[in-house]
């Protein structure tokens, strides 16, 4: 049965809100529009799936606000040929959006429970260009480096040098940087000679990027 206009209305409002806030890249908007956020949202919050707000998920983590997902994806300037490293799989929502604008997404998660659930969602969606790893995201994925693009979805306390070293010379890394409750979302663009142009994009609130992997029962 086809969806009714009423069923489409929350998604349409969300896309209009993202556009109004500056997410204007048509490929990014299409990726968000075709990613069923309700699939990544816990049952308790299903009715809020299309709100432009962050929502709690397991392991004390969150599914990011759609505006921030759109903003970070747009800031990354992903090309369809790019190999992208994502640090912090979480629910898999951001991963799925990235998979729709890139060639391959390598994603690292420190919580085995979150990774297992995200992998089930990727399978349900039929994604074939997402490669997952259970590990310490702060160390990146050196075996698969260098990457065209890197996105960090947890707040690094300072410049993420280990991750920047896994970026191609002209690559781009987007990450929240800072130790406090409010961080600076920054874009690092390689100059081709080992240096980076650094831009502060906006203030954000992310959970901290922690060392190691989580100990789970």
Residues belonging to the active site: 64
Residues 6+ apart with CB under 8 A from 181: 205
Q: How far apart are CA 152 and CA 85, in angstroms?
A: 8
- Residue whose pair of structure tokens reads 């990774």 in the numeric block: 115
Structure tokens at 30: 């299409």
Residues 93 and 186: their CA atoms lie apart, in Å, by 21
Query: Which residues fall within 8 angstroms of residue 121, CB to CB, at 6 or more apart?
Result: 39, 40, 91, 92, 96
* Main-chain dihedrals φ then ψ at residue 134, nearest 5 degrees: -90, 115
Query: Which three-class secondary structure string do you get for 154-217?
Result: CEECCCCHHHHCCEEEEEEEEEEECCCCCEEEEEEEECCCCCEEEEEEEEECCCECCCCCCCCC
Cα dihedral 44, 17, 87, 190 in deg (nearest 10):
180
């Amino acid at each position: 049965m086809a969806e009714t206009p009423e069923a489409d209305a929350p998604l349409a409002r969300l896309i209009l809100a993202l556009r109004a806030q500056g997410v204007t890249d048509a490929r990014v908007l299409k990726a968000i529009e075709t990613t069923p956020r309700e699939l990544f949202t816990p049952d308790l919050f299903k009715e809020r799936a299309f709100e432009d707000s962050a929502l709690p998920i397991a392991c004390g983590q969150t599914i990011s606000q759609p505006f921030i997902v759109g903003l970070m994806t747009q800031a990354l300037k992903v090309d369809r040929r790019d190999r992208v490293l994502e640090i912090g799989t979480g629910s898999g929502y951001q991963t799925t959006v990235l998979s729709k604008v890139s060639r391959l997404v390598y994603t690292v998660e420190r919580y085995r429970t979150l990774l297992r659930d995200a992998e089930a969602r990727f399978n349900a969606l039929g994604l074939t260009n997402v490669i997952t790893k259970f590990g310490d995201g702060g160390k990146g994925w050196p075996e698969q480096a260098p990457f065209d693009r890197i996105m960090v979805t947890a707040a690094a306390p300072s410049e993420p040098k280990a991750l920047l070293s896994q970026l191609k010379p002209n690559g781009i890394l987007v990450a929240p940087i800072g130790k406090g409750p409010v961080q600076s979302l920054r874009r690092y663009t390689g100059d081709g000679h080992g240096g980076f142009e650094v831009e502060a994009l906006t203030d954000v609130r992310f959970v901290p990027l922690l060392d190691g992997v989580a100990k789970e029962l």
